[in-house]
Structure 1
Amino acid sequence: MLALSLVASVPFVATSAMAQDKLSVMSFGGAYQEAQRKAVFETYAASTGIKIDEQEYGGEIAKIKAMIESGNTTVDVVDVDAPTLLQGCDEGIFEKIDWSAIGPKDDWIDGTTSECGVGTIVYATTLAYDGAKLPNGPSTIKDLFDTKKFPGKRGLWKNPATNLEFALLADSVPADKVYETLSTPEGVDRAFAKLDTIKDSIVWWEAGAQAPQLLASGEVVMTTAWNGRIYNANKEGKDFRLVWDNQILDSNYWVIPKGAKSPDRSLAFIKYAVEPKVLAGITKYIPYGPVRKSSAEFVAPEDAKNLPTSPQNLTVSLTLDNAFWADNGDEIRKRFTTWLAQ
């Protein structure tokens, strides 16, 4: 019997050892996950001997919840956007983060730390234009609303988020007062009144790929756009230029789903993934900025010029307040839809 029990235990020991040599990480796929693979996953495996078992998803919180509710959490770490982070924290489906094991919070850009998520990358919504068609293009967010200085159509994301913020910033509201202003009926009125001044000149886009397409076709003289989309267009030979003034920043976060097999191992991976040099490594492959200020010195100059978080670009900026939109978004979106139809 003893011999049989020893033999029977061998597969279990082997399986446990194999499990300890792997960590399951879920992210968004595409060029972003390819950058993570090169800068984070492969280097982590090389330094620890722990292979990353990659998973992909489209950002759906339902997929994470279904896994947890099944009682079989098969993913150890997940990359989530800010709205998913907020909802997941509120619903208690993410583990609390022990920040003493990660690093000093004051090294993270404002708005990129959470009790259950660790900021990883920063991307931006900015103003962009075609340098080939407009050599002396816009230089501030105010130029988006100046149709005398820059006549022609403007591209805007068909969403109140970012547009109301840009409107107030262009109307001389300081970045640190934007959400305080938007929290009042008068502030919302003010933002819509500013948008009214260019309403007849707006071409709306809905998918991120449309913004550079509008520039390329000449349908608009400028457009708001996600910085990564402009970067990709320039890799294909375009001369699109970004106006970093009053860019609006947003972030992704690493989280540990409830029921993860080994939260300590998950946390150790996150600690590695947000080390300043590792974060800087991502910028070699995709123009998303590191969330840590101490990463700046490790970013190559040729990469730094494309990042929203580089000191030369991070002059005047606003971090998108996803909590504000979670609380007020439904009401403002109804007004936005009505305004569009008027």
Structure 2
Amino acid sequence: MTMRSSLKPLAVAAIAALSAAGASAQQITVTSWGGAYGKSQVEVMHKPFTAKTGVKVLSEDYNGGLAEIQAQVKTGNIKWDVVDVELAEALRGCDEGLFEKIDASKLPKGDDGSDAKADFLPGMVNACAIANISYANVVAYDKAKMGANAPTKLEDFFDLKKFPGKRGMKKEAGVNLEWALMADGVPAADVYKVLSTPAGVDRAFKKLDTIKPQIVWWSAGAQPPQLLASGEVAMTSVYHGRIYDANVKDGKNFAVLWDGQITVPDLFAVVKGSKNTKAAMDFVMFATSTKPLAEQTKFIPYAPARKSSLALVDDKIKPWLPGASHPGRAFQTNAGWWADHADELNQKFAAWLAK
């Protein structure tokens, strides 16, 4: 009895120590898009957040969409705590109850003292997600392989006679349908109006038909630069930051055709039912503060969602930011429109692919 009694304090101390260790060893999983973009987040968001809070951040990659998130929430088997989603998915996911609501009043002020609400660019703070960057979907080509006969406008992407060769395109409806209409003569301001009609949808697919036999489909952001480097395609759609990364870090000589650029905001959302909601929310608040968003541009030139961050971007990087006075047509994706029409058009796109 005496021995057992003397062991009790030791047992209690051991349990307390284990509990403390468990608390200090807390971790969250942040899922994003990988590549140079994912690395930028690891360096300027994950590592500093761990250093500040002691919460370990595990990084996972995916190719976008809501399917995996829906499956996790439906089954209750939540593997991801924070997910980097595009604006249309952020809106849909919030409506479907896939994401936790975020208290925007807790967002930190800008480093210049500005209130967060005024510091974030319009539309970058939502009920379930906070924006970190905007990137542009653009056309890219290899200068060396294209030679003097280089494309100058979006229509050239669809001109197989003047610019022979295969075309790389992401295997989804978004961007492809907008580009098809623009290349068919629809003004940028009218794209979604036309695409809202059955005749407009048919017109977009008819334009895509003109290059369909020459399309090489891609799904991951790392693929377009690889397709250009191998010469498998003459031109490709691509996230503009991937071309910057290939040129600066891999010594490529790729060019961006900015005409027709469609910018897309990316946001952080916390998955509904996360067992680490507080730590996940703390991460979102930290990752979307002024310094991390500004520092991220040193790795990849995506436009930060805060004005105070934009003010800190190096002048050498600014010409690579989307919308930075580039020539040609440009607009931001209509995320609300896509949130309402994605299911229908994705089904039509799948049927078109199968023809």
1:201-280 equivalence runs, <5 A: 202-208=214-220, 209-218=222-231, 220-234=233-247, 235-261=249-275, 263-280=277-294
Between Structure 1 and Structure 2, how many residues are aligned? 338
1:99 aligned partner, one-letter code: A
Contact 1:156–1:163 (Cα < 8 Å) also in 2: no
Offset, 1:4: 4.5
Partner deviation per Cα, 1:90-111 (whole Å, 9 max, x = no partner) = 3323211111222645644555
Contact 1:155–1:202 (Cα < 8 Å) also in 2: yes
1:44 aligned partner, one-letter code: F
For residues 49 and 219 of structure 1, the distance between their equivalents in structure 2, rounded to whole angstroms, comes to 46
Name the residue aligned to 1:151: 163
1:50 to 54, 59, 74: 54
Structure 1: tracts of 5 or more residues without a match: none
Contact 2:136–2:263 (Cα < 8 Å) also in 1: yes
For residues 212 and 72 of structure 2, the distance between their equivalents in structure 1, rounded to whole angstroms, comes to 47
Contact 2:24–2:55 (Cα < 8 Å) also in 1: no
1:134 to 139, 147, 160: 147
TM-score for the superposition, normalised by structure 2: 0.76
The SS at the match of 1:160 is coil
Is 2:109 aligned against 1:97? no
1:276 aligned partner, one-letter code: T
Is 2:31 aligned against 1:27? yes
Offset, 1:270: 1.5
Name the residue aligned to 1:291: 305
TM-score for the superposition, normalised by structure 1: 0.79
Provide closer, same or farther for how the CA distance between residues 336 and 4 of structure 1 changes in structure 2, counting only shifts above 3 A.
Answer: closer
The SS at the match of 2:99 is coil
The SS at the match of 1:124 is strand
1:57-206 equivalence runs, <5 A: 57-58=61-62, 64=69, 76-82=81-87, 84-102=89-107, 104-105=116-117, 107-109=119-121, 112-132=124-144, 133-135=146-148, 137-146=150-159, 150-153=162-165, 155-157=167-169, 158-195=171-208, 198-199=210-211, 202-206=214-218
2:290 aligned partner, one-letter code: P
Offset, 1:126: 0.4
Contact 2:290–2:308 (Cα < 8 Å) also in 1: yes
The SS at the match of 2:320 is coil
Provide closer, same or farther for how the CA distance between residues 77 and 12 of structure 1 changes in structure 2, counting only shifts above 3 A.
Answer: farther
Offset, 1:184: 1.2
Contact 1:21–1:49 (Cα < 8 Å) also in 2: no
2:38 aligned partner, one-letter code: Q
Contact 1:155–1:211 (Cα < 8 Å) also in 2: no
Provide closer, same or farther for how the CA distance between residues 137 and 338 of structure 1 changes in structure 2, counting only shifts above 3 A.
Answer: same
- Name the Cα RMSD after superposition: 3.8
Provide closer, same or farther for how the CA distance between residues 313 and 225 of structure 1 changes in structure 2, counting only shifts above 3 A.
Answer: same
For residues 73 and 205 of structure 2, the distance between their equivalents in structure 1, rounded to whole angstroms, comes to 42
The SS at the match of 2:128 is coil
Contact 1:71–1:259 (Cα < 8 Å) also in 2: yes
For residues 12 and 65 of structure 2, the distance between their equivalents in structure 1, rounded to whole angstroms, comes to 40
1:2-41 equivalence runs, <5 A: 4=8, 8=12, 11-12=15-16, 15-16=19-20, 18-19=22-23, 22-28=26-32, 29-41=34-46
For residues 339 and 45 of structure 1, the distance between their equivalents in structure 2, rounded to whole angstroms, comes to 46
For residues 254 and 273 of structure 2, the distance between their equivalents in structure 1, rounded to whole angstroms, comes to 46
For residues 154 and 109 of structure 1, the distance between their equivalents in structure 2, rounded to whole angstroms, comes to 38
For residues 340 and 138 of structure 1, the distance between their equivalents in structure 2, rounded to whole angstroms, comes to 26
Provide closer, same or farther for how the CA distance between residues 195 and 111 of structure 1 changes in structure 2, counting only shifts above 3 A.
Answer: farther
Provide closer, same or farther for how the CA distance between residues 281 and 164 of structure 1 changes in structure 2, counting only shifts above 3 A.
Answer: same
1:54 aligned partner, one-letter code: L
Offset, 1:159: 3.4
